[in-house]
Amino acid sequence: MTPSPCLHCGGPVPADLTGGFCCRGCEGAYALVQDLGLERYYSRRSVDPAARPLRPADESGQLHDFSAHVMADDKGEASLHLMVEGLHCGACVWLIESLLNRQPGVTWARVNMTTRRLVVRWRVAEVEAAALLAPVMAVGYRLVPYDPERLGAETQRQEKELLRAMAVAGFAAGNVMLLSVSVWAGHFSYMGPATRDLMHWVSALVALPAVAWCIRPFARSAVSALRAGRTNMDVPISIGVTLACLMSLWETIHSGEYAYFDSAITLLFFLLIGRYLDSRARGRARTAVEHLLALDATAVTVMEDDGVLRLVPPHKVAAGARVLVAAGERIGVDGTINEGVSDVDTSLLTGESVPVQVAPGAQVFAGTINLSGPLRLVVSAVGEQTLLAEIVRMMEVAEQGRARYVALADRVSRWYAPVVHLAALLTFTAWIVLGAAPWQMALLYAVAVLIITCPCALALAVPVVQVIGSGRLLRQGILVKSATALERFADVDTVVFDKTGTLTLGKPQLMQDGGWTDADLVQAAGMALASKHPLARALAAAAPQARLADGVAEIPGHGLELASGLRLGSRKFVGVADDGAVEGPELWLARPGMAAIRFAFTDAPRPDARQVVADLLAMGMAVELLSGDRAATAAKIAAELGIAEWRAGCAPAEKCERLAALARSGRKVLMIGDGLNDAPALAAAHVSMSPSSAVDVSQTAADVVFQGGRLSPVVETLEVARKSRVLVKQNFALALGYNVFTVPLAVAGMVTPLVAAIAMSTSSLVVIANALRLSRRRG
């Protein structure tokens, strides 16, 4: 007997199931599609009992099979990473997450606004991937396998399109506004109808082609939303601009008095500016993950059983393969050493400034650098299973929380568009039915409502303050990279510092402790010149007069040696017993028949670190130190700077856990760090800063990057942020007051589209003028 087809996916229904569905997931998805009124989703394909289960389709009807990209674990759960095309605002994020979280079996569904990355996890036994994704595809979003390179290329294409449209709209708006000045002047002095019509026709020839070309970014989004049976903020924008142009063209053709080509093209120009700046801000946030992934984008040398060496991309290396890592090469996989001894620079992962000595049996991780000797590894993890990939995931989870902190315009977008459409429709209907007005006048009033309710001033309330505040900080060497950074800085009540490279300069310096003479230093530096070890370089830098000694041999993972018996290296290498009182990095020089000499190194604090900590405490901030360094070193720097709360030996996950604990207690944390181990914590914190000396990934993960060797930018940024918050609240009051006052006038027919455009522009100028007060720096 041929099994009946599933009502949702079209696959065969098992004989022991009733109700017309092959699984609970399909039953839930079918109910959801019915609830949303998207039955047309099923009209895209024919239900064939012999057909394969349905795969999500895009708007063209093309089917996509994501089964090859599904990753399953040993707990019965599967996950899928996809890129969402057509994502525009916080309402889109809310809709997609709501659709997915209503599906049975889903344990996690999150959309990252900055990277447009969708991560969904579900229980395999309860639902299939096709059933999960179908409702999202049905409402008009396109899902493709996540590819950072494709995302970057798509974003660059969109930004170029916006920039070109913005240039065309600005040029057209300037020229049409000049023509409109003549028409406006004609209202107060005699202007014949023929002259006015000429001005209108010239304005139409300039504005209409520009509007038709520049409105595309908004129109595509609006059409896509309407075809999927939903709405967004681009719908009233597109309708208002289109109706203003059509009405103006109608009036021009019939020698009418009112033509508002200037309003339409100027409105479009300002909207394009906002859309472009928003895209640029998201692009800077997205590059944090791209920099992390780039650390893993190195070829791996795989050793075949027959001894042949092959260069293979890291994601194509199988677990258990044997890999050769040359000295100076970045390690591209996680693995266990089975041959070789070396020093490995783990500062990107741990923040520890001193390289770690590794030997057979030790584990190494992707992203670290092999310094001194060749290593042979047995691969334990590649791709998404590496520690580097885990840091990527931690960053994206942390950034998701940040992305949900959206602007007010996005928070009200669920109801803004329907209310505006309804108000315009009611205005049009009321003037025809109750006011007995001609349809042209009623339509004119409806267009005025659409234009005057455009939330330009409301949308500028936060960004304009951010731009002016960011410019003030930039002049002082402080780069604000996140669109909501200043807003979050104003909430800060706790400051958490990393140690190496943040509170300190991050460069080992030889200590003048009196335990050695100048002759000892020159002798040791002559050997140190033969090594690339950071401590050896610091030692050599302390004695520029030293010359390279002959016959220096480097013993990977231990130190340097001469045939005469001189040794420079670790305590164990030179035969000095460990007394348990080691503080900070050190090198030992051993000479036959003489006592060993210790060269101690320190990482000096930044010049104003103590004063900045004192200023933060005076501002009422709680200050903590989270370091991946050793306890003795962290305790010393904390005591020197006056930091009472400190923790040492913190891994990336432990730093995130501490920040999460502070957040649960109601604290708003500013995290300041510079290493790769700080990147997840920088993303997880309420807001974050990084010095310009930091690794690229920490700079891109941070909301703010500051130049120079001082920490005073921390205090300056907090002060600017607090003033910015006051100005933002004032701008919100001005913008909302504008709408409360003008919308009733527009509905009452007391505002023409021309006046509406002027009022809208004026409200924006008032908001900008108020924000400009932030550019004045006291003192």
**pLDDT (tens digit per residue) in 273-303:** 767 765 665 554 444 445 555 555 457 888 8
pTM listed for this prediction: 0.50
pLDDT of residue 441: 77
CB 154 within 8 A of CB 118: no
pLDDT of residue 314: 76
Catalytic residue list contains 703: no
CB 625 within 8 A of CB 575: no
Q: Cα separation of 315 and 321, whole Å?
A: 12
For residue 442, name the pLDDT band (cuts at 50, 70, 90). Answer: confident
φ, ψ at 336 (rounded to 5°): -115, 135
Nearest Cα to 102, choosing from 130, 72, 122? 122
Q: Is the pLDDT of residue 662 over 90?
A: yes
φ, ψ at 479 (rounded to 5°): -100, 120
For residue 665, name the pLDDT band (cuts at 50, 70, 90). Answer: very high
CB 255 within 8 A of CB 197: yes
- The β-bridge relationship of strands 669-672 and 322-325 is unpaired
pLDDT of residue 677: 64
Q: Is the pLDDT of residue 49 over 60?
A: no
Q: Cα separation of 674 and 701, whole Å?
A: 10
Average pLDDT over residues 523-551: 88
CB 499 within 8 A of CB 604: no
Q: Which of 234, 296, 343, 498 is catalytic?
A: 498
CB 73 within 8 A of CB 137: no
Alpha helices in 485-625 (DSSP H): 485-489, 518-528, 534-541, 571-574, 609-618
pLDDT of residue 246: 87
- 504-515 pLDDT per residue, tens: 877 788 888 778
Q: Cα separation of 389 and 122, whole Å?
A: 20
Average pLDDT over residues 742-770: 74
Edge-to-edge order in the sheet of strand 356-358: 356-358, 342-345, 369-370
Q: Is the pLDDT of residue 500 over 80?
A: no
pLDDT of residue 579: 65
With a pLDDT cut of 70, the percent of the chain lying above it is: 71
- Cα dihedral sign, 46-47-49-51: positive
Q: Cα separation of 567 and 492, whole Å?
A: 51
Q: Cα separation of 75 and 78, whole Å?
A: 9
Q: Range with the lowest mean pLDDT among 23-37, 89-103, 274-288, 656-670?
A: 23-37
Q: Range with the lowest mean pLDDT among 177-181, 187-191, 195-199, 314-318?
A: 187-191
- Average pLDDT value over all residues in the chain: 76
DSSP-derived 3-state class of residue 15: coil
DSSP string, 47-82: --TTSPPP--B-TT--B---GGG-EE-TTSEEEEEE
